[in-house]
Amino acid sequence: MKTKLKTRKTAVKRFSKSASGKLMREKTGQNHLMSKKSGGRKRNLVAGGELDKGDRKRVSRMLGEGL
């Protein structure tokens, strides 16, 4: 009997898929201790980014059919 591939809900909360199919992530370090960080650094953290090549296969497997 074949088992279903279940979506990991924590991965769905952390990653998203762009319209072109890229896996996107948010940058870390924007939750606390913000007063010591410069404005430019904080703006840079908001931008997020694309997932690294080495993590794509693992994360897409965690997402399953979630996205």
Does residue 7 lie in a domain region? Answer: yes
Does residue 19 lie in a domain region? Answer: yes
Does residue 46 lie in a domain region? Answer: yes
Please, which residues bridge with residue 23 across strands?
A: 17
pTM higher than the cut 0.85: no
The mean pLDDT values, 10 residues at a time, for the chain of 67 residues are 85 92 92 95 92 92 77
Does residue 11 lie in a domain region? Answer: yes
Is the sign of the CA dihedral 49, 52, 57, 58 positive or negative? negative
Split into its structural domains, the chain has a count of: 1
Domain of 1 in residue numbering reads as: 1-26+37-67
Confidence at residue 6, expressed as pLDDT on a 0 to 100 scale: 86
CATH classification at residue 13: 4.10.410.60
Does residue 31 lie in a domain region? Answer: no
